[in-house]
Amino acid sequence: MKRSSLNFLILFFLLFSISASAECGTSKNHIVFIHGIASNKGAFGYWDQYVQKFHKDECLSSHFFEYDTGNNRLSLNDFVESFDEFMHQESLSEGKIKIVAHSQGGLITLYWLKRMLDNNDSIRFRVNGLMTMATPYYGAKIANLGYSLGTFILPILGKKELKDMRIGSKQVMQTYELFNNKDFLSYLKGLNFISISALFAPNLFDVEGDFAVAPYSSNPNVVLGNNISKHYNIHGVHLRFNLPRTPATTYVTKTCLEKPELCKNSSLAIFEKEFLSQQYVSIDKAEDINTFAVYLKFEKGSLPSGPIFVGSKGILRGLAIKFHHIRDGLYYYKGRLSSGDSKGYLRTYIDGNKILIPVKASRSTFITR
């Protein structure tokens, strides 16, 4: 009797396994992970295993795109080309695709999607989710620092990669223009585009919120601009290991795999909430920090002049003498609102005329004249 019962259980589990496999069949959908600068697929930790364990019924297969980051000869466009080859491989030829991108990986994905739109490539219709984490859409000061120090000091960071991600780089301005492209904006709005800014808690480093990318850069939704993505602020660090009170933004630990109720990875939780049918991990949301950035782009002849004042909560404070001139009529200013305030204005002068520029916490403002 015992042997008969055992045989029955074995048969039941075999039939269940075959049935579950048959349900997915060849209609499996995909998650594509793409890491950032000076990194690799290890940045995502146990993310893949977690999805396979707790979301098996979603029929998702994982793919990791790794590229030659740190190569001084390669630029963002080179990585976009490699990513295009990766995305057109046989294993991704059918089914829906969700893309999870960290840091520079988000830029690679963005420009690849624009290429697919321009080429009228049907794969763009199969991408039904994009989540970017700490992507420097509008530049990162750490890239300026790394570029000025030289890659002989930081050999794991590619020179052209750093050049593209500097504050005020030509790539940054192209990204802003890309978000204002009517056709591309329409495509993104139908994509389920999720963006995440990570902040170190407590916010000791509010200029570069997660040790690398400031929230006003990783939030693509600019002041006076279009709402491009659904945006989250979370507590996290750019690194792939946890710090006290603050987890790594991308790295899913073994704890998440064993006890999801104790998992501290908010990026994983957002992925579950936005892309999957069930959510087991909680989101640790962070508040906007009070820093902001302003880009001014002028035709020849116009010139911003100081002093610069920032007004919020009825307080007008002088913070700087002038904007930082980057190049060719492009100026940049990073400022701070009064503590706890979410919006205000910047007062400055252009060609001797006073102007007021609206600003918001953790956002960038672009003004072209």
CB 67 within 8 A of CB 83: yes
What are the beta bridge partners of residue 196?
A: 133, 232
Is position 172 within any domain?
yes
At residue 18, the pLDDT reads 42
pLDDT above 70 covers a percentage of the chain that reads 85
Residue 318 shares a structural domain with residue 200:
no
Is position 6 within any domain?
no
Is position 42 within any domain?
yes
pTM: 0.90
Over residues 333-348, the mean pLDDT reads 85
Burial of 208 (0-12, 13-18, 19+ CB in 10 A): buried
Q: What is the CATH number of the domain that holds 268?
A: 3.40.50.1820
Quick check: 28 pLDDT over 90? no
Residue 321 shares a structural domain with residue 243:
no
Residue 222 shares a structural domain with residue 338:
no
Q: Which residue has the higher pLDDT, 152 or 51?
A: 51
Residue 222 shares a structural domain with residue 335:
no
At residue 202, the pLDDT reads 52
The predicted-structure confidence for 73-105, as pLDDT tens digits, reads as follows 999 999 999 999 999 999 999 999 999 999 999
The predicted-structure confidence for 189-207, as pLDDT tens digits, reads as follows 999 999 999 988 555 544 4
The angle subtended at Cα 195 by Cα 193 and Cα 199, nearest 5°, is 170
Quick check: 22 pLDDT over 80? no
Q: What is the CATH number of the domain that holds 356?
A: 2.60.40
Lowest mean pLDDT among 52-56, 72-76, 221-225, 354-358: 354-358
* CA-based max dimension of the chain: 96
Residue 271 shares a structural domain with residue 296:
no
Number of independent structural domains in the chain: 2
At residue 188, the pLDDT reads 94
The mean pLDDT of the chain is 87
> Rounded to whole angstroms, how far apart are CA atoms 51 and 95?
17
CB 261 within 8 A of CB 288: no
Lowest mean pLDDT among 21-30, 45-54, 128-137: 21-30
At residue 130, the pLDDT reads 98
Residue 67 shares a structural domain with residue 212:
yes
pLDDT above 90 covers a percentage of the chain that reads 60
Is position 280 within any domain?
no
Most confident of 46-50, 143-147, 338-342: 46-50
At residue 149, the pLDDT reads 79
CB 249 within 8 A of CB 236: yes
> Rounded to whole angstroms, how far apart are CA atoms 178 and 222?
13
Quick check: 120 pLDDT over 90? yes
CB 55 within 8 A of CB 252: no
Radius of gyration, alpha carbons of the chain: 23
Over residues 305-326, the mean pLDDT reads 72
Over residues 232-250, the mean pLDDT reads 87
Quick check: 301 pLDDT over 80? no
Quick check: 319 pLDDT over 90? no
Most confident of 68-77, 143-152, 330-339: 68-77
Over residues 99-114, the mean pLDDT reads 98
Q: Which residue has the higher pLDDT, 195 or 151?
A: 195
- Neighbouring residues of 10: CB distance < 8 A, sequence distance ≥ 6: none
Domain range for residue 250?
Answer: 26-275
The angle subtended at Cα 169 by Cα 222 and Cα 361, nearest 5°, is 25
